[in-house]
Amino acid sequence: MTKTYVNTFQSGDKEYKYADIDAFMADHQAQVVTLPYTIRILLEAALRRANHGQDQPGELAALLDWDHAHDQDVAYQPARVLLQDLTGVPAVVDLAAMRDAVVAAGGDGAAINPEVPVDLVIDHSVQVDKAGTDEAFAFNVKREFERNQERYTFLKWAQNSFTNLSVVPPDTGICHQVNLERLASVVMTKDGEAFPDTLVGTDSHTTMINGLGVLGWGVGGIEAEANMLGVATLMPTPLVVGVHLSGRLNPGVTATDLALTLTHRLREHGVVGKFVEFYGVGLSDLSLAARATVANMAPEYGATCGYFPIDSQTIDYLRLTARSEEQIALVQAYSQANHLAYQPVEDDLRHYSENLELDLGTVVPSVAGPSRPQDLVALPSMPDQFASRRDMQPLAVDMAGQHFDLHPGALGLAAITSCTNTSNPEVLFAAGLIAKNALALGLKVPAYVKTSFSPGSRVVSDYLQAAGLQDCLDQLGFNLTGYGCMTCIGNSGQLKPELQASVEATPYPLAGVESANRNFSGRVNPKIVDTYLASPPLVVIYALAGTMDIDLTTQPVGISKAGQPVYLKDLWPSDAQLEQLTAAYLFPEQFATNYQALYAQNAKWDELVAPTGDTYAWDKDSTYIAAPPFVQAAQGQPTSLSGLRVLAKLGDSVTTDHISPAGFIGRDTPAGKYLQAHGIKPLDFNSYGSRRGHHEVMMRGTLANIRLQNQLAPGTTGGYTTLPDGTGTTIFDAAQTYAQTGTPLVVLAGKDYGMGSSRDWAAKGVKMLGVKAIIAESFERIHRANLVMMGVIPLQYQPGDTADSLGLTGQETFAITLDCQHQTAHVTATQGDQTIEFDTILRFDTPADVDYYQAGGIMPKLVAAKV
């Protein structure tokens, strides 16, 4: 591009330059008003790069004709990167190992350093070891530091060693809520030039920031490392689904109900890998917190992002959260100047690839479950969920001087937790008022239900305490347990002791309810079979009922101290009450005071003494942190592979929870045996998430989820397989056996392989097990990218083909021939004298994918570039 498109605007007493997308469009006989706002943001970034002579060939043309160029690639280089600690630790471990590799090759280790601002928020490590008491928070924090001191010391070294890396200490808040309330600026400036705040994060729910008009989404740690080191991500020009919102939510309907409804509708529509953008008159009454709740769930409806454009709600929220007036003025001036401020009059002019309508007035109170976020259940239909189990013998439990006969649907845990809802004052005030009303009527939570409350930031505690509602929640057992993700990511701890003992002796289909975003099988707690997602007020209601097997619209929640039935309507606050509380107890000074001390709120963190130096002094005896082996350069990657055996044959909807190690480490698992062999007692195993910086532990936990169903090991659930000689064994031990004979491996799978959280170990782990290729019916976006970046080949069956339709049993020996130029691969599967041949789609979606594979992965490629 020879012509540059630079204009200026004034904000306060300062003048800023910007990449003028309107001028560019006009020069090409097109109108900027026809573009979705997300495409405008991608266009601005491409145009800004072109203005600086750094444009990607063909990129501007692809964006100009964006809805007819989905087979062309555009670059995404975010302005910043957000990490949480479970995914952030292995990312930083990789960077440290890459420094070692650069130094070993004679280069400068400091060349491996983030080139954009990186914020790492420690929020995934605290566990619900204790709950239901005033001592819970202090106890859980103490245990957190006992378990994680080595990891935290490593992160302190990283903060001191890498420039552009800031670490938010533990027990401060959830990364997405801290991002929403503090880190995001909406508009950024550098060298006198203004541009949109954009990001990627190593957590799927980075999309929450889309509610603030900031474009960002979750990626694996591997992709984030590349972005940190200045490597743009290439992706196909996206399809954009426009969701037109009309009407307004009815009284008693929450933002959570809306988010779950949209998750269901959008999954039905099919938005995997697409951008979703919300617009319409319904936006005017949809608060920023409600938008963030919907945006947070984008991974659950499968979209890359769920974007809300900048408007007056954005500005009001920036003011509420104590952003400076100078910054607010900058956001207003820039978004107006560069056509990024929402204009309702353009709704009929804007073009979308696909369109969807939702009247907010049609949304009803709902939950989702029992194992997928998109499975919407209206409250009256909840009893139907348990009808088939009604004849089961009850589970007898004695505790707190009472005898309980529990039936299927009985609650083992009820948790107000996760980023999804704990950023929303309206639903938290509602939960507090329900607790207050329940106490006035004499209702209590049954003794067998483990209750917990994990807010997303300390500001939540400020306004609930100011309103006098935290005490009400405490009296029902929803005491503060920690400022972190906790139950939502499986850090739920054990159930109440008596109930834990009962279900260990007699497995029983207990239920759980959480105000979270993920409820995949086995995720929240290994003893919970059915997990439902619900708004915080409904979590309290169901906790009071003690069961999910109830129609809250017709059946009583409990009996009052006067002996009268108490119904949902007797407990639920009015919208007017919620508005009054929000106006009286939520104000900017709370945010200002809290975030002034963001990096100095944890004395235990401040006391940690960390090593110094550009390279890390690895401890060979550590079981938390180890230098990984996959940063070394590969000796060329073949385009023809042969002799592959099947490690696992899997069905549909295999999530990264199934693939990547997460949650509890069992005593008798390969990882548990490894830790015990290294002197670690089961009590000190901690979680897989906390050990993500150690490849020996993680590879042993890969494909080992207790709910995994490998068709090569019929009649079992968990990480098991069968060797060709008929021997049953664990997947890890089988991989070790195959490695001894130099046998490469392949995994067969169904639809949506790798859906769920952005876990890089789902790709790293299978690579370390010796898996060379995955053949699946379809891949979730993030996981496909992670596989490629680790040098693992993603192959997709041709439309209409499946493992079963082709007659594949998993007993075959495979040969694969790649044709990178035409993005195809020919597969031959042989068993005895029978041969099955078929073609697959080689999911190297961009030219960079081929480069990553040929280099053995992105990390060896980056090391080579820095030497």
- Distance, CA of 330 to chain centre: 30
Tens of pLDDT, residue by residue over 151-181, are 999 999 999 999 999 999 999 999 999 999 9
- Is residue 758's pLDDT more than 70? no
- Residue 689 has a pLDDT of 83
Tens of pLDDT, residue by residue over 221-270, are 888 998 999 888 888 899 999 999 999 999 999 999 999 999 999 999 99
Residue 513 sits at φ, ψ, to 5 deg, of -135, 135
Say what percent of the chain tops pLDDT 90.
86
Count of residues making up the chain: 867
Q: Are 241 and 268 in contact (CB under 8 A)?
A: no
Label residue 634 by pLDDT band (50, 70, 90): low
Per-residue pLDDT averaged across 324-340, rounded?
Answer: 98
User: What is the SS3 string spanning 189-243?
Assistant: EECCEEEECEEEECCHHHHHHHHHCCEEEECCHHHHHHHHCCCCEEEECCCEEEE
Q: In sequence order, what DSSP letters do the residues of 601-612 get, joined into one string?
A: S-HHHHH-----
Cα–Cα distance for residue pair 741/699, rounded to 1 Å? 19
In the DSSP assignment, the letter for residue 555 is S
- Is residue 398's pLDDT more than 70? yes
Per-residue pLDDT averaged across 14-23, rounded?
Answer: 98
Cα–Cα distance for residue pair 697/765, rounded to 1 Å? 10
Label residue 412 by pLDDT band (50, 70, 90): very high
Cα–Cα distance for residue pair 99/93, rounded to 1 Å? 10
Per-residue pLDDT averaged across 64-84, rounded?
Answer: 94
> Within a 10 A sphere around the Cβ of 589, how many other Cβ atoms?
9
- 204 token code pair: 């799927």
- Residue 1 has a pLDDT of 63
Give 331: exposed, middle or buried? Use CB within 10 Å, 0-12, 13-18, 19+.
buried
Give 55: exposed, middle or buried? Use CB within 10 Å, 0-12, 13-18, 19+.
middle
Give 92: exposed, middle or buried? Use CB within 10 Å, 0-12, 13-18, 19+.
buried
- Distance, CA of 734 to chain centre: 30
Per-residue pLDDT averaged across 648-668, rounded?
Answer: 90
* pLDDT, the chain, mean: 95
Q: Are 543 and 447 in contact (CB under 8 A)?
A: no
User: For residue 89, which amino acid is it?
Assistant: V
Helix axes 781-789, 847-855, angle to 10 degrees: 40
Cα–Cα distance for residue pair 791/77, rounded to 1 Å? 22
Q: What is the pTM of this model?
A: 0.89
> Within a 10 A sphere around the Cβ of 28, how many other Cβ atoms?
11
- Distance, CA of 292 to chain centre: 14
3-state SS assignment for residue 376: strand
- Residue 635 has a pLDDT of 65
Least confident range of 238-247, 314-323, 484-493: 484-493
Query: Which residue, among 783, 770, 743, 773, has the nearest Cα to 660 in the 3D structure?
Result: 783
- Residue 816 has a pLDDT of 98
Per-residue pLDDT averaged across 31-52, rounded?
Answer: 97
Sheet holding 215-218, edge to edge: 165-168, 118-121, 80-84, 198-201, 215-218
Cα–Cα distance for residue pair 563/560, rounded to 1 Å? 5
In the DSSP assignment, the letter for residue 490 is T
Q: What angle do CA 661, 775, 811 make, to 5 degrees?
A: 90
Question: Any residues with CB less than 8 A from the CB of 211 and at least 6 apart, and which?
Answer: 180, 288, 289, 291, 292, 293, 294, 295, 296, 308
In the DSSP assignment, the letter for residue 55 is P
Question: Any residues with CB less than 8 A from the CB of 339 and at least 6 apart, and which?
Answer: 21, 22, 32, 33, 40
- Residue 275 has a pLDDT of 98
Tens of pLDDT, residue by residue over 694-713, are 999 999 999 998 889 999 99
Cα–Cα distance for residue pair 289/211, rounded to 1 Å? 8
Label residue 797 by pLDDT band (50, 70, 90): very high
> Within a 10 A sphere around the Cβ of 392, how many other Cβ atoms?
12
Per-residue pLDDT averaged across 439-449, rounded?
Answer: 98
Tens of pLDDT, residue by residue over 348-387, are 999 999 999 999 999 999 999 999 999 999 999 999 999 9
Tens of pLDDT, residue by residue over 456-467, are 999 999 999 999
Cis peptide before 78 (omega within 30 of 0): no
- Residue 690 has a pLDDT of 86
**Domains of the chain listed by start with CATH number:** 34-41+65-84+113-123+172-353 (3.30.499.10), 367-596 (3.30.499.10), 640-660+702-866 (3.20.19.10)
- Is residue 633's pLDDT more than 80? no
Least confident range of 121-125, 517-521, 581-585: 517-521
